[in-house]
Chain A
Amino acid sequence: MFKVNMVEPPVVYFEDLAEGHEFPTVTKGPMMVGHQVRWAGACDNYESEFHHDEHVAKAAGLPGILLSGPLMASLLLTTVTQWLGRDARLVRFFDQNRGATMPRDTALMNGRVKRKYLESGKAFVELDLSITNQRSEVTTPGSALAEMPRRGG
């Protein structure tokens, strides 16, 4: 049987991150209807039929089933917590559902350090975030603010 030991992401320190630093892009998907249905099940939310019924989606004038914006945002949020490591404390997170993610689309999680600063003895990093698809269209712009641990701190 294939077994992997899961471990927490390594600690990343404030000093390790420079402004302009680009995090390695993380690819999710291809996103399938199953991802959407699993999310609906996890949230017990089945009321927006266009998220799982193509007939309903097209009747509503949509091109087809859309994956849920909050699911895509959660994938991005998860990626941020991986990039920033075990001891980062997420303070703010923002996402905008700008473009649709549809079944069989790939979702690429992108992030860079926009700014780092000290305030009241605490160390913060601001990230510019986005989800792009296989056509390089931005479906979800976003941003995050996190408090980071200091080396020797």
Chain B
Amino acid sequence: MKNHVTDDVRAIIGAQSSWNEATNAVEASEVRRFFQAIIDPKPVYWDEDQAKETRYGGTIAPPAFAVHAFRRGTDETIDPLDAGLDPEFDGVSRALRPGLPSVPIALPRVLNGGYEYELFSYPRVGDRIKCRSTYRDIYQRDGKTGPMVFIVIEDEYATADGRPLLKSLNTMIMR
């Protein structure tokens, strides 16, 4: 089977982005939309009186909130939904993280293989969340359905003032 992990691909292993800060500080309504989406209305996410009695001493955002807190910037004039207007676009973005090079592999599908989280603390309303991403590994396995390339991305999340929130290892699969 064709080897997709060429020298050009191997060259980006270890590439690390700078710290990117989320567009807005954590907002109460954003936390509400998140816990409603994950069907988890625990009072610790919204009720200060009950949250005071918990180990957190106040309301927090759900554990994986930081992973999904990076939204389109107010000054980002390129609309990601316009990608379909690009005649070269094949429907799959290989730019897996802001600040990291695209993965130069022409396999047609990109799937999210899963996450491993290490949790340190939870975001709170008003926190500014920042993230730094690193390509930890890229390797190929040949299965019955053809080649699969695994891209392991480490994402470190912290507050702008340096409180660690979460470390994630995300495996993306191209096939």
List chain A positions with a Cβ less than 8 A from chain B.
6-9, 28, 35, 38-39, 41-47, 49, 56, 60-61, 68-71, 73-75, 77-78, 81, 86-87, 89-97, 140
Chain B contacts for A43, CB-based, 8 A: 34, 37, 68
Asked whether A91 lies within 8 Å of B114 as measured between CB atoms, the reply is no
Chain A interface SS verdict (over half): mixed
Supply 17 further A-B pairs (C-beta < 8 A) apart from A39-B37, A89-B55, A91-B119: A6-B42, A7-B43, A7-B50, A8-B54, A38-B36, A41-B33, A42-B37, A42-B68, A45-B68, A46-B80, A56-B91, A74-B40, A86-B54, A90-B63, A90-B119, A96-B114, A97-B112
Q: Are A69 and B112 in contact (CB under 8 A)?
A: yes
Q: Are B36 and A42 in contact (CB under 8 A)?
A: yes
A77–B63 touching, CB < 8 Å: yes
Query: Is B97 part of the binding interface, using a Cβ–Cβ cutoff of 8 Å?
Result: no
Q: Are B44 and A70 in contact (CB under 8 A)?
A: no
Q: Shortest beta-carbon distance, A115 to chain B, in Å?
A: 18
Q: Are A93 and B63 also in contact (CB < 8 A) when A6-B47, A8-B42 are?
A: yes
| Residue from B43, B54, B116 within 8 A of A6 (CB atoms) | B43
User: Do A47 and B54 form a contact, CB below 8 Å, given A28-B39, A70-B115, A97-B112?
Assistant: no
Inter-chain CA distance A45–B3, complex, in Å, is: 32
Tell me, rounded to whole Å, the shortest Cβ–Cβ distance linking A127 to chain B. Answer: 14
Taking a contact as CB atoms under 8 Å apart, the answer to whether B40 and A78 are in contact is yes
Interface string of B151-165 (1 = CB under 8 A from A): 000000000000000
Contact call A94/B115, Cβ cutoff below 8 A? yes
Nearest 5 pairs of A and B residues by beta carbon? A42-B37, A78-B40, A96-B114, A43-B68, A74-B38
In-complex Cβ contact of B72 among A44, A73, A94 (8 A): A44
Task: Give a binary string over B36-77; 1 marks a CB under 8 Å from any A CB, 0 the rest.
Answer: 111111111001001001110000001110011001100000
Q: Is B141 in contact with chain A by the CB < 8 A criterion? A: no
Q: How far is the CB of A8 from chain B (nearest CB, A)?
A: 6
Which of B53, B109, B116 touches A94 (beta carbons < 8 Å)?
A: B116
Q: Which of B30, B40, B108, B114 contacts A73 (CB 8 A)?
A: B114
CB proximity to A under 8 Å, residues B71-113 = 71-72, 80-81, 83, 91, 93, 108-109, 111-113
A68 to B117, CA, bound (A): 17
Within 8 Å CB of A86, what residues of B?
A: 44, 54-55
* B8: interface (CB < 8 Å): no
Q: Which residues of A contact B83 (CB under 8 A)?
A: 47
Answer whether residue B118 sits at the interface, using C-beta atoms and an 8 A cutoff.
yes
Assembly CA distance A71 to B109 (angstroms): 20
- Least CB distance, A90 to chain B, in whole angstroms: 5
**Given A8-B54, A49-B91, A77-B64, also A92-B37 (CB < 8 A):** no
**Are A93 and B55 interface neighbours, CB within 8 A?**
no
Q: Are B64 and A74 in contact (CB under 8 A)?
A: yes
